[in-house]
Amino acid sequence: MAYFQNSVIRASLAITVGGVATDPTALSLVVRSDDGTTSTYTWALGTVSKDSVGNFHRDGDFLEATHSFYWSEVDDRLVPGRDAPELLSFIPASNVPELDLDLVFYPTNSPGEVTATLREACHGGRLEKTSHSHTWRTGGPGASVWRRQLDASTALLSFDLTEGDVPSRINTSYRYSVRGSQAPLATDIATGAHAYVYPPKHSHWGHGLVSDAFETVLLIRNIAHRRRDSAATLAQLRVFDAQGLDRTVTMRVEPESPAFMRLRDVAGGGRDERIVSWLLRADHPDLEAFWITFSPEGSICGEHAF
């Protein structure tokens, strides 16, 4: 089941005796988390609220969740061979000034702990090393959900995993929302770490909505696992729709950098919303693309490319 970001979930209870609403002498609510820990709330301490005689409730805020991840029966750790690259795996995140982005890291059932060094790019720049690193348990006992919000000035952030027992999967949800909007809406794009064992990918496709009110932006990154493979690339972006639009533009994506394309610049706007599709092709195999459709009022949707 999915819940909106910042939404409130209410647990309610009505108590009757012989058909008559009746207060109990004591009342407690025990909530069990996925990791087996429990939290207890009571009427006596005021953590369960009374609405009227015999009627009680407790409100709780929930992290929005719409994806589940598989239970692994095998060891998820990468076993780097002699030809392993410098960057065993990485978790990239790109963004534009109109949006906020929270990365939510979900643990797996496979025990693991990693330390990532961080690289960051401002708008118009390339990834540069920072002095920051982050260590966390990616799964097993002691692992927990945690978040990282991108700074407003960050166009691309990369969690680089270069040594140790790196899991082949680190589950991450990308939660984009419209900056400054009060609408309780966000995307929930489920992806994660990109290990060097991923096969090369040269084509990327997705959709979007364009009009005078809605913009769709493509967020593209170019990050290589091997330093010697890091290179700029030209990509062909084809945008088309059911009304006959079919336009192709060429993009240059610099190495270790983000690139952005606003589909309204290619497909135009208009009073009525139009669904457009797009296909991105490049000879270079190190690109990845997301698409985000949004309005200034806070409506938003998106997904990673396929």
Per the CB < 8 A criterion, the answer to whether 283 and 229 are in contact is no
pLDDT 10s digits, 151-199: 999 999 999 999 888 888 888 999 999 999 988 788 889 888 999 988 9
Q: Do 122 and 181 share a domain, yes or no?
A: yes
Q: Do the domain assignments include residue 28?
A: yes
Q: Do 184 and 242 share a domain, yes or no?
A: yes
Tens-digit pLDDT string for the chain (306 aa): 334 444 557 788 999 999 999 999 999 998 876 566 788 999 999 899 999 999 999 887 654 555 666 666 666 777 676 788 999 999 999 999 999 999 999 888 888 899 999 999 999 999 999 999 999 999 888 888 899 999 999 999 999 999 888 888 888 999 999 999 988 788 889 888 999 988 999 999 999 999 999 999 999 999 999 999 999 999 999 999 999 999 999 999 999 999 999 999 999 999 999 999 999 999 999 999 999 999 999 999 999 999
Rg (CA), the chain: 23
Q: Do 49 and 160 share a domain, yes or no?
A: no
* Number of domains within the chain: 2
Q: Do 112 and 241 share a domain, yes or no?
A: yes
- Return d(Cα 306, Cα 292) in angstroms, integer: 14
User: Which of 273, 278, 253 shows the shortest CA–CA distance to 263?
Assistant: 278
Residue 173's Cβ-side half-sphere holds a number of Cα atoms within 13 Å equal to: 19
Q: How many residues does the chain have?
A: 306
Give residue 145's domain range. 89-304
Q: Do 156 and 96 share a domain, yes or no?
A: yes
The pTM of this model reads: 0.78
Q: Do 115 and 183 share a domain, yes or no?
A: yes
Q: Do the domain assignments include residue 78?
A: no
Inter-CA distances, 272 with 98, 102, 268, 269, 292, Å: 22, 31, 11, 8, 18
Q: Do 52 and 104 share a domain, yes or no?
A: no
